[in-house]
Amino acid sequence: MQQAAGSIGDLSLLEACWRSLVLGVVQGLTEFLPISSTAHLKVVPVLLGWGDPGVAVTAVIQLGSIAAVIGYFRRDLAQVLQGVAWAFRDGQWRDPEARLGLAIALGTVPIVLAGMAIKLWVPDYDHSPLRSLTAIAVVSIVMALFLALAEGLGSRRRQLQAVRPWDGVVVGLAQMLALVPGVSRSGSTLTASLLDGWQRADAARFSFLLGIPAITLAGLVQLKEALATPAGGGPIPMLVGIVAAAVVSWAAIAWLLRYLQRNSTWLFVAYRLLFGLAILLWLRGTVEG
């Protein structure tokens, strides 16, 4: 879908900052919940008449979410880095922190390779059929069914201390699917972890940590393009979006971890089904109208 008339580049600084603030809040609310931030960052602006902000802008706003997850898990990350450093020094990878670091590294490889392939061979990915509202709706419904399957079949016996490098590969392949809007990086990795037998809160924790390298790389790669594109609005609106995403993401992470300690993922299954159906009904009404 082409960008709507009145893009951010044609607006006043105040209006551009407002739109970026809205995008940042949407990003923060949806990045770590298993409901697809990419889909919401596509759908919400379109419904508001702003048009699709594009891959570059959404990738850069995600840097706010990364700042939040790094800050929230700073102690965990310090322990992981220390464990990896000791493992390289001693040649022993049995320590849980070292294994977690290795799992994160291995799990990052699939999405990086897939992202590079898209960048090289799909130059007009912003307007790919995979980013259409219809595709987002269908994918959201399909992934809701997979999450329901994982919720029903997962044993929920494993904890993060028992992580293996192979877990990183399995969940990393699921994370790669998140390049398709509507899949949800958090949703796909949470689904894979639940099917792999993880407890819900530990699955979410690994999903957060695994996302740090991938989302950071995507945001940095797209930073120059996002600042240059009219949809970005320039550095000040982009900074507003990043800060908003950071603040809201922190709150979303804290809430989700508490929620999954006592509750299932059925709430998100229901939301994704309704989200996908609502888009399809809206599109049908638009065509008929």
Decide: helix, strand or coil at residue 69.
helix
* Amino acid making up residue 44: V
Asked if residue 68 belongs to a domain, the reply is: yes
Per-state percent for the chain, helix, strand, coil, to nearest 5: 80, 0, 20
Q: Is the pLDDT of residue 286 over 90?
A: no
Asked if residue 3 belongs to a domain, the reply is: no
Q: Is the pLDDT of residue 31 over 80?
A: yes
Asked if residue 1 belongs to a domain, the reply is: no
- Residues 73, 245: Cα–Cα separation, whole Å: 16
Asked if residue 2 belongs to a domain, the reply is: no
| Residue 54 or 84, more confident | 84
Q: Determine the average pLDDT of the residues in 244-270.
A: 97
CB 149 within 8 A of CB 105: no
Asked if residue 155 belongs to a domain, the reply is: yes
Average pLDDT score, the chain: 89
pLDDT tens digits, 213-247: 988 887 777 666 666 665 556 788 889 999 999 99
Measured between alpha carbons, how far is residue 90 from residues 81, 94, 204, 250, 255 in Å?
Answer: 14, 11, 30, 36, 38
Q: Is the pLDDT of residue 54 over 80?
A: no
Percent of the chain residues past pLDDT 90, beyond the cut: 70
Decide: helix, strand or coil at residue 49.
coil
Domain containing 281: what range? 8-288
Measured between alpha carbons, how far is residue 248 from residues 94, 133, 258, 265 in Å?
Answer: 36, 25, 16, 21
pLDDT score, position 3: 43
Q: Determine the average pLDDT of the residues in 92-98.
A: 91
Q: Is the pLDDT of residue 257 over 60?
A: yes
pTM of the predicted model as reported, rounded to 2 decimal places = 0.89
* Amino acid making up residue 50: W
2 confidence band (pLDDT: 50, 70, 90): very low
Bridge partners, residue 198, by sequence: 158
pLDDT score, position 1: 39
pLDDT tens digits, 187-213: 999 999 999 999 999 999 999 999 999
- Residues 289, 287: Cα–Cα separation, whole Å: 5
Structural domain count of the chain: 1
Most confident of 8-17, 114-123, 248-257: 248-257
DSSP structure string for 182-225: TS-HHHHHHHHHHHTTB-HHHHHHHHHHHHHHHHHHHHHHHHHH
| Residue 54 or 136, more confident | 136
pLDDT score, position 230: 57
